[in-house]
Chain A
Amino acid sequence: MVWFSLRCVLSRNHLCGRTLFRTLSAVNTASTAMSFEWPWQYNFPPFFTLQPNVDTRQKQLAAWCSLVLSYCRHHKLYTVDVMEVQESPVFNNKKIERKLSVEAIQVVFEELRKKGNLEWLDKNKSRCLVMWRRPEEWGKLIYQWVSKNGMNNSVFTLYELSNGDDTGGEEFHGLEDWMLQRSLQALQTEGKAEIITMDDGKGVKFF
């Protein structure tokens, strides 16, 4: 029933979904900004200087990777623009007047890439996808929800999954399209779902 009535919206869903998500994102940022807990390193001035000692640097980078991922998770950020993010509180602590240089940010991002949590969108490394949860993990969450609600063998549009009323309380609600597709692809590989092409876009059938 829901599927049918949403068909007319599907043609615009791409743009619609994105705008809706961006607004949600802004609201999220405002309301959750207060409750994000910074790790002790964040207020430690040297944390913003790439450490010369190799062992210390390793600890530092590990802490930065952790911080970037938790920050993105908290604010539901999936795409990051390097120039923009330099001014974001995560890399720029105004209180102690320290910021991470662009070179250092690139080093941190390279670490994240090596760990499989980041993907560059362009050759110039100006924009990237941050995967604070990997596609397989998202796929698992989605499949759990499907099973729990006895909806195996049902078909969903991608929009329904990420923005439908039924998924309102779920963690994958608001998931960006590119990540949703990858998650479903992961499930497909596991034989738990099949991505199908419909008139106005893609959908998925769960087994």
Chain B
Amino acid sequence: MHRRGVGAGAIAKKKLAEAKYKERGTVLAEDQIVQMSKQLETFKSNLEEFASKHKQEIRKNPQFRVQFQEMCATIGVDPLASGKGFWSEMLGVGDFYYELGVQIIEVCLALKHRNGGLITLDELHQRVLKGRGKYAQDVSQDDLVRAIKKLKVMGSGFGMIPVGGSYLVQSVPAELNMDHTVVLQLAEKKGYVTVSEIKGSLKWEKERACHVLDHLLKEGLAWLDSQAGGEAQYWLPALFSELTSRDVTPEEANQMTP
């Protein structure tokens, strides 16, 4: 008697067994997916219910808002992903960030003539709050960052440069590369920077330092001070703390180039 088990018949049997296992596996996997989907649906509807119950809280309380967004992120949902859609309709969250984006643009435009299109997140926050008045929803810096990220995605020339523990918000598409960014970060401490300081801290050649400073002057982000008593100082209006609390006076408003 042959014990080979390797005949056409055996192969066919094997194939059938494999197919059955596969099917089983598929069924198993499908099972799992259906299970998981059901769970996800439950999770999602719970989240929706939660959102609906706490709608006011989400709108009014910035910390709550952050936590809610993080929760959504955990299940891969971005409430801001589209202007329309369930989330924004139910919560009006989409509108909230859209409106905030518009406010941010307004503030940046109003101050562009002073700071060349660069503003600290702190100052932006101060001015946005001021513009909203007493009875409007509170807005946190986290909210601003999210709104700016949205603006960035829409290709509006917005960007954020990390400096000194916070950010500089760039609202004009001035070409700023790594060299420029690093010099901005160096200038953050005193509001100005010199060629020697750049050479000392960043270990650059003079030409490289001058090249960056010239670019900042050209973009209107920096002003030259030649009376500093030593070498020239390059000051950034965006970092000039005395400036940040000042309103735009009518005289200044008249000077703004169209």
Contact = CB atoms under 8 A, between A and B. Distances in A.
B124 to A, nearest CB: 17
Nearest to B223: A46
B226 interface: yes
Contacts of B254: 66
A49 B226 contact: yes
A56 interface: yes
B145 to A, nearest CB: 27
Interface in B207-258: 217-218, 220, 223-229, 233, 235, 237, 240, 242-243, 246, 249, 251-252, 254-255, 257
B180 interface: no
Interface stretch (A8-16, A57-65, A138-146, A172-180): A57-65
Contacts of A43: 242
A98 B218 CA distance: 23
A132 B32 CA distance: 82
B249 A45 contact: no
A48 interface: yes
Among A45, A46, A59, the one with the most B-chain Cβ atoms within 10 Å of its Cβ is: A46
A46 B220 contact: no
Interface in B41-87: none
Q: DSSP majority for the A interface? A: helix
B113 interface: yes
Among A52, A53, A60, A97, the one with the most B-chain Cβ atoms within 10 Å of its Cβ is: A53
Contact of B224 (A46, A62, A66, A70): A46
Interface residues of A, number: 24
Given A51-B223, A97-B227, A44 B242 contact: yes
Contact of A52 (B217, B246, B249, B255): B217
Contact of B225 (A49, A58, A63, A99): A49
A53 B255 contact: no
A4 interface: no
Contacts of A55: 220
B187 to A, nearest CB: 13
A63 B228 contact: no
Contacts of A44: 223, 235, 237, 240, 242-243
B257 A49 contact: no
Interface in A67-99: 70, 97-99
A39 interface: yes
B233 A45 contact: yes
A134 B239 CA distance: 38
A101 B208 CA distance: 30
A59 B257 contact: yes
Nearest to A101: B227
Contact of B217 (A39, A40, A53, A66): A53
Closest 3 pairs (CB-CB, A-B): A46-B223, A46-B225, A62-B255
8 contacts: A40-B114, A45-B192, A49-B226, A51-B223, A52-B224, A59-B257, A66-B251, A66-B254
Given A40-B243, A46-B225, A53-B218, 8 more contacts: A40-B246, A44-B223, A44-B235, A44-B243, A46-B235, A49-B223, A52-B224, A98-B227
